[in-house]
């Protein structure tokens, strides 16, 4: 136990708190049980260590544990948590709980037995907490951490601080014009960099190897995280990677389930399930009709990769800019708003607003006569009537 405690202290003391993610300011950290889901590489561990560093209690009263540590092969969370509490512990952070088979039941036991102990846990975006043994869904406040928005990327990589802008404020041009008029800020200067490199915080470590690391990350998510949580073996993982590769070369992909089954070697009846696993893992994003029902596992209208960095990491040729623009819009807007398939344009948002995405030469012809319709253009800096700059949708969170 002493080695685990010493490791925790070292990690807490050494974490940088010069930049914190958007979610940090949204979580009511005083709550006794908090869960944070998210794809690998989005910064969950760093955020928790930052909170531990700032928590106004002594170092001996707070502890970080990673459950992929070999220590937990022969030791239980429950026993460790009990010892920690008996020694005066107040705040226990459990990272990567999906690596530990009975995590939900043991966290529930700790929560019920020790009212003075606060527990925060993280896990894969694939976790379905409502289906876990122990029913933590009634006890835990759950959140999900996405990758960096364009706004966060500017702050993280270039110390350019911009406020968030709500979708309604953006559509109504109801925001501080100084955002656009600041002579020190050129909104398009770093936008292409973001599209290629900016979604994951680890891009700052080594840009030259970033896409290689991202491909390795994707493989790890499929071969280990998805296999652990969903319970299939490595042979199925290889087929799922093949399925992802097929999609990545044709995005936005209009799926033919029979063709996908033949090309990937996955049984036709399983293809839809695997597509939903990939979406839960935040590797793809499926655009559904507005009448979509999760219970029916309907075939999506289109499939995108989850974010633009995936496009550049997985594409075997120069990515199509139309797809890159649509993927950026979908990724940034879908965090806070519902997006569905639109027959007359690219997207319908909140079942109210219609958006057509394109380059600077995109005309308004496609949305002419439609109510609440907007053209979103790349390569422009400011709005002109119902034409909006694409980059500004990166300020929503």
- At 341, give phi and psi (nearest 5°): -65, 140
Task: Please give the Cα distance from 15 to 47 (Å, whole number).
Answer: 9
Encoded tokens for 357: 């995405």
Residue % of the chain over a pLDDT of 70: 96
Place 163 in a pLDDT band, splitting at 50, 70 and 90: very high
pLDDT in tens, 261-277: 999 999 998 999 899 99
pLDDT computed for residue 195 by the predictor: 98
pLDDT computed for residue 66 by the predictor: 95
- With 90 as the cut, is the pLDDT of residue 120 above it? yes
- With 60 as the cut, is the pLDDT of residue 295 above it? no
pLDDT computed for residue 132 by the predictor: 57
- With 70 as the cut, is the pLDDT of residue 166 above it? yes
Higher pLDDT, 307 or 129: 307
Min mean pLDDT across 129-138, 284-293, 313-322, 385-394 is at 129-138
Q: What is the pTM assigned to this prediction?
A: 0.91
CA torsion sign, 235 to 237 to 238 to 242? positive
Q: Are strands 353-358 and 373-377 parallel, antiparallel or unpaired?
A: parallel
**Structural contact between residues 8 and 63, judged by C-beta atoms closer than 8 angstroms:** yes
Cβ neighbours around 329 below 10 Å, total: 22
Exposure pattern of 225-237 as b/e (b: 16+ CB <10 Å)?
bbbebbebeeebb
Mean pLDDT along residues 101-128: 92
Task: Please give the Cα distance from 356 to 185 (Å, whole number).
Answer: 26
pLDDT computed for residue 232 by the predictor: 74
pLDDT in tens, 328-387: 999 999 999 999 999 999 999 999 999 999 999 999 888 888 999 999 999 999 998 899
Say whether the peptide bond before residue 252 is cis (omega within 30 degrees of 0).
yes
DSSP string, 331-342: HHHTTTS-EEE-
Place 125 in a pLDDT band, splitting at 50, 70 and 90: confident
Task: Please give the Cα distance from 268 to 259 (Å, whole number).
Answer: 9
Task: Please give the Cα distance from 261 to 154 (Å, whole number).
Answer: 41
Higher pLDDT, 88 or 369: 88
**For the chain, what is the mean pLDDT?**
92
Mean pLDDT along residues 26-39: 96
**Structural contact between residues 123 and 116, judged by C-beta atoms closer than 8 angstroms:** no
Location of each CATH 3.40.50.300 domain in the chain: 2-145
Residue (of 8, 34, 32, 10) closest to 23 by Cα position: 34
CATH number belonging to the domain at 2-145, selected among 3.60.15.10, 1.10.150.530, 3.40.50.300, 3.40.50.720: 3.40.50.300
Q: Partners of 358 in the beta sheet?
A: 377
- With 60 as the cut, is the pLDDT of residue 133 above it? no
Q: Could you give the 3-state DSSP secondary structure of residue 300?
A: coil
């Amino acid at each position: 136990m002493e080695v685990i405690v010493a490791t925790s202290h070292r990690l807490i003391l050494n974490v940088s708190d010069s930049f914190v993610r958007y979610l940090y300011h949204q979580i009511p950290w005083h709550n006794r049980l908090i869960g944070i889901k998210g794809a690998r590489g989005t910064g969950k561990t760093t955020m928790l260590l930052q909170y531990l560093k700032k928590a106004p209690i002594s170092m001996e009263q707070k502890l970080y544990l990673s459950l992929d540590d070999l220590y937990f092969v022969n030791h239980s969370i429950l026993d460790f948590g009990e010892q920690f509490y008996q020694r005066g512990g107040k705040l226990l952070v459990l990272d990567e709980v999906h690596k530990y088979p009975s995590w939900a039941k043991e966290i529930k036991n700790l929560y019920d037995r020790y009212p003075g102990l606060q527990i925060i846990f993280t896990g894969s975006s694939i976790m379905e907490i409502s289906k876990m043994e122990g029913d933590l869904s009634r006890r835990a406040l759950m959140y999900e951490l996405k990758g960096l928005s364009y706004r966060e990327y500017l702050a993280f990589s270039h110390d350019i601080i911009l406020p968030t802008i709500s979708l309604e404020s953006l559509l109504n041009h109801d925001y501080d014009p100084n955002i656009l008029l600041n002579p020190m800020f050129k909104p398009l200067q770093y936008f292409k960099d973001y599209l290629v490199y900016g979604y994951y915080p680890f891009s700052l470590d080594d840009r030259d190897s970033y896409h290689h690391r991202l491909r390795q990350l994707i493989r790890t998510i499929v071969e280990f995280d998805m296999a652990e949580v969903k319970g299939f073996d490595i042979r199925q993982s290889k087929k799922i990677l093949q399925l992802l590769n097929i999609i990545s070369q044709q995005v936005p992909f209009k799926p033919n389930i029979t063709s996908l089954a033949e090309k990937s070697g996955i049984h036709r009846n399983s293809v839809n399930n695997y597509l939903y696993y990939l979406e839960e893992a935040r590797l793809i994003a499926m655009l559904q009709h507005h009448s979509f029902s999760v219970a029916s596992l309907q075939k999506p209208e289109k499939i995108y990769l989850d974010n633009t960095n995936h496009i550049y990491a997985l594409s075997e040729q120069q990515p199509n800019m139309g797809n890159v623009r649509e993927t950026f819009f979908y990724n940034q807007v879908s965090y806070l708003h519902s997006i569905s398939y639109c027959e007359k344009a690219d997207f319908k948002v909140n079942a109210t607003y219609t958006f057509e995405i394109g380059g600077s030469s995109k005309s308004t012809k496609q949305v002419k006569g439609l109510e609440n319709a907007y053209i979103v253009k790349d390569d422009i800096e400011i709005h002109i009537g119902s034409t909006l700059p694409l980059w500004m949708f990166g300020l929503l969170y």
